[in-house]
A = this chain, B = another copy of it.
Amino acid sequence: MNEKMLPPIAIELTKSPKARPPADKLGFGKYYTDHMFIMDYDTDRGWHEPRIVPYQPITLDPSAKVFHYGQTVFEGLKAYPTADGRILLFRPRKNAERLNRSNERLSMPTLDEEIVLEGLKQLVKIDRDWIPNEPGTSLYIRPFVIATESALGVAPSREYKFMIILSPVGMYYAGGMKPISIFVESKYVRAVEGGVGTAKTAGNYAASLKAQEEAARLGCDQVLWLDGVQRKYVEEVGSMNVFFRIGDKVVTPALNGSFLAGVTRDSVIQMLRHWEVPLEERAITIDEIVQAYREGRLTEIFGTGTAAVISPVGELCWHGERMKVGNGSAGELSARIYDTLTGIQTGKLEDPFDWTIAIDGAE
């Protein structure tokens, strides 16, 4: 429990609860719960009026800055139901911290992390019936900030809205743990050092769509980004960080100022260290990966991210070649990490890292 005085969160409950979507239709980010959290900012009053209200559309002037100059940041985390009826959040403080790092990079006002966490907990508690509990399902939590000032000058907005919406989600990959195919991108660039690649901001995702579309046309599921300067260092995959198992080691790109520092990435690193699996965080060229593949030492690749948790990669598409990795199902280490991480997230396994927070209990 924190000691600071938080402003009270006003609560207005819906009078017309929506029907719950069937569990097999959930998908990702298609349904939203009955309520949302909202808080406003202006330069005079700072952040004010935190409130939970019925989920509803927002009304903005057509000149609102978010539509023109893209000042917006977001986060993504999940609430998991446990077998004994509790609700667990996975490392939500990391998301609140990252939201603020994103805010800073985008010249947006930072938020009191305690209010973010408190708003999030109260909202999830109010909409707790919306949490699905079929295996692999969860409640996705999307905090975001948008610039709302009505003004066309290119300058930081003087008004913002911070909101949290909730979406019950199914398994991210409809086919379950089936390995995905990734396309190594050599034409498009997502972000570069000195840019906004480490921030979770809209523009990075807009910039990635074209590459994703072209990869899909070639039958690949996602894009593996290379660095924008030398076009040879591996960075991240779509909405995931990436790990390679080469020989007896696991390697993952070191944080370099151009891709997102994933919460799942950090958790996997801690877990591997805990297990005493040799791990290297360092710059990795695509050539090194290809060579390890040719030598038969590349045994597993997996992506890490909140949406999919762990996503095994079964194929790398590079310069017209399709390199198969693994035997068509999740690798041994990928599966072990997935089982452990989701086990901790859903309270099935012990949590030696103190990662989970029960929604209604103390931290």
Contact = CB atoms under 8 A, between A and B. Distances in A.
Report which residue of A72, A142, A203, A239 has the largest number of chain B beta carbons within 10 angstroms of its beta carbon: A203
A74 B66 contact: no
Interface in A21-68: 27-30, 32, 36, 55, 57-63, 66-68
A20 interface: no
B189 A195 contact: yes
A208 interface: yes
A239 B165 CA distance: 34
B62 A36 contact: yes
Given A68-B142, A154-B238, A187-B194, 9 more contacts: A58-B62, A59-B59, A62-B165, A63-B165, A67-B74, A70-B206, A71-B206, A107-B210, A229-B229
Contacts of A196: 203, 206-207
A167 B155 CA distance: 17
A61 B66 contact: no
Interface in A163-195: 163, 165, 167, 187-195
Interface stretch (A4-12, A119-127, A144-152, A311-319): A144-152
Contacts of A58: 59-62
A236 to B, nearest CB: 13
A201 interface: yes
Interface residues of A, number: 66
Contacts of A195: 188-192, 195, 207, 228
12 contacts: A29-B63, A57-B59, A58-B61, A66-B202, A68-B74, A69-B205, A72-B206, A154-B238, A190-B195, A192-B229, A202-B202, A228-B228
A66 B69 contact: no
A297 interface: no
A256 to B, nearest CB: 14
A209 interface: yes
Given A72-B67, A228-B229, A107 B213 contact: yes
Contacts of A144: 67-68
A207 B195 CA distance: 7
Given A30-B151, A195-B190, A57 B55 contact: no
A202 B67 contact: yes
A309 to B, nearest CB: 16
Contacts of A187: 194
Contacts of A93: none
Given A204-B203, A228-B228, A67 B146 contact: yes
